[in-house]
């Protein structure tokens, strides 16, 4: 019982009205009331957009991910060995690598991995039928959480990188164009600017071919990706970005050049001196059932070849340069014929053109549908109606216009064949009919000669994509029967290599061995990340710590082959101090909660130093330096507090050719009990003496490895500095006990007695301790070289250590979580970070995370959550905006060229236009900073508490549009903060009150990135003292 003047009395009754409380009784509520509440809070409406889709071309792909969603999904990926997902991808994307890069927020690294194997990586991320390809092979399929959303991750990574507006360049490690033989100047023609052609031309450009020209019949590029895949699935800006990356390599596009018109043919190109021709256009002639012969568009009959290009030209900004195109004027009922992907694109597009009902009618049953599940599910969600087992019999006309369609029924016999039952018919009313029965080569086949066709597909070798009738002709995509965008991209990729071999053979140059197609490269890849540290030149600042990744010299050799800049050997000793390990000894941490598989936040080990002899490591060091002279090998050694031992071992290690020594004075378990490791490293006087002994014995650089298990690590560092050490390594593992089981045994538990000991904890859980140690040493000993180790799981976290004063990074747990190839993620991530600093237009980016794009206020300042009646109001306002919006107005999304500078040039005769568009460079640049310039950048901002300014206060600000109304901010503020957030009972919109003290706890628990931000406080902060100071009476 409290009194009104009690300071412990609860006064925030209204604020706490919705706060969780312990239940004392069962909860009762009539079902009638629950029905009303369910309707109010419902989020999973059957049609998310309200099913009124006219002129609504916003992205509707369920796979699309925000940064938050991408990071969470990438964190689920197992990054499997010999990953089946990759084997199911026609272009053989290194899926585990690009997802690994996403999980570390290295979006350039992810995009590079994708675009290296598939120049159409962004398009494919949006439209690939992943359920039938990569996702179909995901090893997580049997688990409760299901397979990874690979397409969504691919889409996110490449789109995020594309926003950087960085051009593609040839690999700077390849011979320069000027040094290539004249055979690389051969004229190459590609016909049709679709996916197969873009892929082929891109790889030819990477190889160094300098005269590559694409001939396109339309006034825009992209092929069917532009003309037949709707804007809400694939914006033209995406296709344009991929074409721009291709044009960055010098590829030219000639528009308005139709095969078979004005004498333009494959043979004419050959006669004009083109040494090789690639045919990458689609099959242009629609297949039309005879019942529709003579019926026109004006009468209400479209083929997909009529309908989808008309929709695209009226809804894709920037595609055809026109502003007057209108959507096909549909209304009422629309019948779409066919059950492939194109049919479902027609169906969902019909709603956006004004149809009120859409029927998808097809001959087969649901079990034999050709469309991928993604397309079918989308059409179902948008209320398309499916009518299987029907075949057109005749069109019903009224007043010269389509009025309906009569069908025969079909049936599937015991052999699995479909038969027509002419005794059963049905009629459907319709105002329009769209036929999507596929397409064929048609009359243009004559202009392809000498290429021949056999019952549809072109006669080519499906490995080399080379025509059987003429070795200078290559083809891919629809022409050879590979209709998927990703298959077409792979055809172009295959053709590029074999075209390269063919062209070089004409010059007498034989190309042998496995294909060596160059990777995707940009100016980011040319960034120099070498480091001059402690008098040693490191090719890059990433090395393996003295731990399990360096168990053997063969492992170090393999790590160097993958790109690591240095390695610290597993710690070795004199033979008299050799050890034998126990098992088990390395276990997953508990700091990440019940997370299993890779991505562990910590490990705990009770492993000792190397079981191998000093002789082994000395020989290994010499061999590694012999074979990798540019890589740095650091010998890690350990002795007891004995000058003779340290002198002997240090001299031996130096003579082996090691670039530097690391003195292990910090192993937290086992060795300390022998008077080594931690037993020495916790005592400043012992560290001083050991470093003096080693400095007297050797001339090479050496670094004592410091333990965090001390009161003040600065005192140990100062002792090392005074003793003559070149620098220090900080930190070794943190001593700990990871946890106990329900039966009171710990893990690891050794032997039948199930005994354990305190082990060394590593991984990202130790990073705060590592950053504190490094920064405090850097403050205490400016310019004293520091090698950092402790939870460096990505380039982003390495950058934090650079800023705290470290010069190079030692890594272990990230390799334990994955493999040696992670170094490439660190490398590209650091290069991208440094490059971004050189670009003024990227100043608002947080490393590789773009700033949130400000969207137009469609809701007139109203705070409308995304549930119940509120979402209906959102849909109404969104619909009003869509109807008024100019669909062809460019929103600047993925803009990659300068619209104010014409790059489309008329040809000599004025009949065609050639596009060699240059990328916009409307930004200021400075030289890319060096790695050395980043060392210690943040140290001046780290200091004592009394240096902090308590006059400049901040408060929380909630972005209602990002908020998902979970109330986590409200709950934590109530029970762990200042009761400064109101939570509306009807809308669940949080409102920050003037009681906010800026503690930032709400930001810390909010599940949505940047939903809550801290902004400057506009009024002076007056602390709530509880009892005014003047009235305070001491007890």
Annotated catalytic residues are 667
Could you give the maximum distance between any two Cα atoms of the chain, in Å?
109
Structure letter (DSSP) for residue 1027: S
Q: Alpha carbon of 932 to those of 524, 528, 543, 791, 829: distances in Å?
A: 17, 11, 16, 21, 16
814: left (phi over 0), alpha (psi -120 to 50) or beta: alpha
User: What is the C-alpha to C-alpha distance for residues 107 and 100, in angstroms, rounded to an integer?
Assistant: 10
Residue 1035's Cβ-count burial label (10 Å; 0-12, 13-18, 19+) is exposed
- What residue spans of 727-811 are helical by DSSP H? 767-780, 795-804
How remote is the C-alpha of 856 from its chain's centroid?
A: 26
> What token pair was written down for 994?
């003037």
Bridge partners of 216, per DSSP, are 255
Cβ burial of 206 (10 Å; 0-12, 13-18, 19+) is buried
Contact assessment for residue 728 and residue 776, using Cβ atoms and an 8 Å cutoff: no
**E strand map for 83-235:** 188-191, 212-216
**Locate tokens 């137009």: which residue?**
856
**Which residues is 467 bridged to in the sheet?**
460
Measured CA to CA, the distance from residue 9 to residue 897 in angstroms comes to 64
By the 8 A CB rule, do 465 and 474 touch? yes
- Distance, C-alpha 548 to centroid of its chain: 29
Of 601, 629, 613, residue with least CA distance to 539: 629
CB 434 within 8 A of CB 304: yes
| Angle value at C-alpha 200, between 196 and 202, nearest 5 degrees | 120
Round to whole Å and give the CA distance between 503 and 496.
Answer: 10
Distance CA 685, CA 436 (A): 84
Q: Compute the C-alpha angle 566/846/1004, nearest 5°.
A: 100
What single string gives the DSSP state of each residue in 473-515? EEE-GGGGT--SHHHHHHHHHHHHHHHHHHHHHHTTPPP-SS-
| Paired residues of 839 in beta bridges | 925
Q: For residue 75, what are the CA distances in angstroms to 96, 296, 960?
A: 11, 53, 27
Query: CA–CA separation, 140 vs 136, rounded Å?
Result: 10
- 961/866 Cα distance (integer angstroms): 9
What would the two tokens of residue 647 be? 């002198």
Instruction: Tell me which residue of 602, 769, 600 sits closest to 103, measured CA to CA.
Output: 600
Query: For residue 914, what are the β-bridge partners?
Result: 254, 905
Per DSSP, 549 falls in state: G
Strand partners, 394: 406
Q: Nearest 5°: CA angle at 971, between 969 and 976?
A: 95
State the DSSP H helix or E strand holding residue 509, giving kind and residue range, or none if neither: none
Q: Which tokens go with 696?
A: 């007297």
What CA–CA distance (Å, rounded) separates 583 from 606?
A: 9
Residue located via tokens 């400043």: 684
Residue 495 and residue 501 in contact, taking contact as beta carbons nearer than 8 Å: no
Q: What is the DSSP letter of 141?
A: T
Handedness of CA 627, 633, 637, 643 (dihedral sign): positive
Angle CA(129)–CA(134)–CA(140) in degrees, nearest 5?
120
């Amino acid at each position: 019982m409290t009194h009104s003047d009690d300071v412990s009395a609860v006064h925030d009754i209204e604020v706490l009205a919705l706060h969780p409380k312990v239940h004392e009784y069962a909860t009762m509520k009539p079902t009638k009331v629950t029905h009303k509440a369910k309707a109010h809070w419902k989020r999973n409406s059957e049609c998310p957009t309200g099913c009124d889709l006219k002129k609504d071309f916003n992205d509707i792909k369920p796979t699309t991910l925000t940064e938050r969603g991408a990071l969470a999904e990438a964190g689920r990926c197992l990054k499997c060995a010999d990953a089946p997902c990759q084997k199911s991808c026609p272009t053989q994307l290194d899926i585990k690598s690009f997802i690994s890069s996403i999980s570390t927020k290295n979006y350039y690294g992810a995009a590079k991995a994708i675009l290296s194997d598939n120049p159409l990586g962004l398009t494919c991320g949006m439209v690939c039928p992943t359920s039938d390809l990569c996702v179909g092979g995901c090893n997580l399929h049997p688990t409760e959480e299901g397979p990874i959303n690979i397409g969504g991750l691919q889409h996110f990574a490449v789109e995020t990188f594309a926003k950087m507006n960085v051009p593609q360049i040839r690999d700077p490690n390849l011979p320069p164009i000027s040094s290539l033989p004249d055979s690389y100047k051969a004229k190459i023609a590609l016909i049709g600017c679709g996916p197969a052609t873009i892929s082929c031309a891109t790889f030819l450009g990477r190889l160094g071919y300098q005269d590559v020209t694409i001939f396109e019949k339309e006034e825009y590029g992209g092929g069917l990706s532009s003309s037949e895949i709707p804007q809400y699935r694939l914006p033209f800006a995406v296709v344009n970005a991929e074409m721009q990356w291709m044009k960055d390599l010098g590829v030219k596009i000639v528009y308005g050049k139709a095969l078979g018109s004005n004498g333009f043919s494959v043979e004419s190109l050959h006669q004009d001196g083109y040494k090789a021709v690639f045919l990458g256009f689609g099959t242009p002639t629609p297949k039309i059932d005879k019942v529709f012969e003579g019926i026109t568009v004006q009468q209400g009959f479209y083929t997909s070849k009529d309908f989808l290009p008309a929709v695209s030209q009226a809804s894709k900004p920037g595609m055809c340069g026109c502003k007057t195109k209108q959507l096909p004027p549909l209304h009422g009922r629309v019948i779409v014929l066919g059950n492939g992907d194109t049919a479902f694109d027609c169906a969902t597009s019909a709603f956006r053109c004004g149809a009120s009902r859409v029927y998808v009618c097809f001959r087969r049953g649901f079990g034999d549908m050709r469309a991928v599940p993604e397309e079918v599910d989308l059409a179902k969600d948008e209320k398309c109606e499916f009518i299987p087992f029907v075949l057109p019999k005749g069109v019903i006309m009224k007043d010269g216009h389509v009025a309906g369609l009569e069908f025969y029924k079909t049936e599937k016999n015991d052999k699995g064949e479909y038969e027509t039952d002419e005794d059963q018919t049905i009629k459907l009313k319709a105002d329009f009919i769209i036929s999507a029965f596929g397409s064929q080569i048609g009359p243009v086949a004559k202009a392809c000669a000498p290429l021949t066709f056999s019952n549809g597909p072109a006669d080519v070798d499906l490995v080399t994509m080379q025509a059987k009738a003429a070795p200078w002709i290559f083809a891919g995509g629809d022409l050879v029967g590979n209709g998927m965008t990703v298959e077409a991209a792979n055809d172009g990729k295959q053709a590029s290599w074999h075209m390269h071999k063919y062209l070089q053979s004409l010059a007498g140059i034989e190309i042998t061995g496995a294909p060596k197609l160059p990777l995707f490269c940009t100016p980011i890849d040319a960034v120099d990340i070498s480091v001059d540290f402690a008098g040693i030149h490191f090719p890059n600042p990433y090395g393996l710590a003295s731990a399990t990744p360096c168990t053997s010299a063969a492992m170090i050799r393999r790590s160097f082959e993958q790109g690591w800049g240095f390695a610290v050997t597993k710690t070795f000793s004199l033979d008299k101090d050799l050890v034998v390990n126990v098992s088990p000894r390395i276990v997953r941490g508990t700091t990440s909660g019940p997370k299993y598989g890779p991505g562990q936040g910590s490990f705990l080990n009770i492993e000792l130093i190397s079981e191998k002899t000093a002789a082994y490591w000395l020989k290994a060091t010499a061999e590694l330096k012999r074979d990798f002279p540019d890589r740095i090998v650091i010998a890690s050694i350990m002795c007891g507090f004995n000058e003779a031992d340290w002198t002997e071992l240090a001299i031996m290690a130096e003579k082996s050719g090691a670039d530097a020594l690391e003195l292990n004075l910090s192993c937290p378990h086992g060795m300390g009990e022998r008077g080594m490791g931690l037993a020495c490293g916790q005592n400043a006087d012992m560290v001083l003496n050991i470093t003096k002994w080693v400095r007297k014995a050797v001339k090479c650089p050496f670094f004592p490895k410091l333990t965090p298990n001390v009161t003040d690590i600065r005192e140990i560092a100062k002792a090392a500095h005074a003793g003559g050490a070149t620098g220090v390594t900080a930190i070794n593992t943190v001593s700990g006990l990871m946890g106990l089981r329900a039966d009171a045994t710990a893990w690891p538990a050794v032997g039948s007695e199930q005994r354990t000991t305190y082990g060394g904890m590593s991984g990202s859980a130790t990073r705060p301790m590592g950053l504190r140690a490094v920064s405090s040493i850097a403050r205490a000993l400016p310019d004293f070289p520091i090698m950092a180790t402790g939870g460096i799981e990505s380039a982003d976290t390495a950058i934090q250590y650079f800023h705290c004063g470290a010069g190079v990074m030692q890594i272990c747990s990230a390799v334990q979580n994955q493999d040696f190839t992670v170094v490439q993620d660190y490398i590209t991530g650091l290069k991208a970070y440094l490059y971004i600093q050189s670009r003024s237009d990227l100043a608002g980016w947080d490393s590789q995370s773009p700033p949130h794009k400000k969207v137009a206020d469609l809701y007139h300042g109203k705070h409308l959550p995304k549930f119940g009646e509120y979402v209906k109001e959102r849909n109404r306002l969104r619909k009003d905006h869509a109807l008024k919006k100019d669909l062809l107005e460019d929103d600047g999304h993925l803009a990659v060229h300068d619209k104010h500078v014409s790059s489309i040039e008329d040809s000599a005769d004025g009949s065609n236009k050639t596009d060699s568009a240059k990328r916009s460079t409307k930004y200021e640049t400075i030289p890319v900073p060096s790695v050395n310039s980043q060392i210690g950048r943040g140290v001046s901002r780290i200091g004592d508490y009394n240096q902090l300014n308590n006059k400049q206060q901040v408060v929380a600000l909630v972005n209602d549009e990002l908020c998902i109304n979970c109330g986590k901010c409200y709950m934590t503020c109530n029970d762990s903060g200042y009761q400064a957030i109101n939570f509306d009972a009807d809308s669940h919109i949080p409102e920050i009150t003037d009681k906010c003290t800026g503690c930032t706890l709400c930001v810390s628990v909010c599940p949505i990135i940047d939903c809550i931000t801290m902004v400057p406080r506009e009024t002076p902060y007056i602390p709530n003292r509880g009892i005014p100071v003047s009235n305070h009476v001491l007890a």
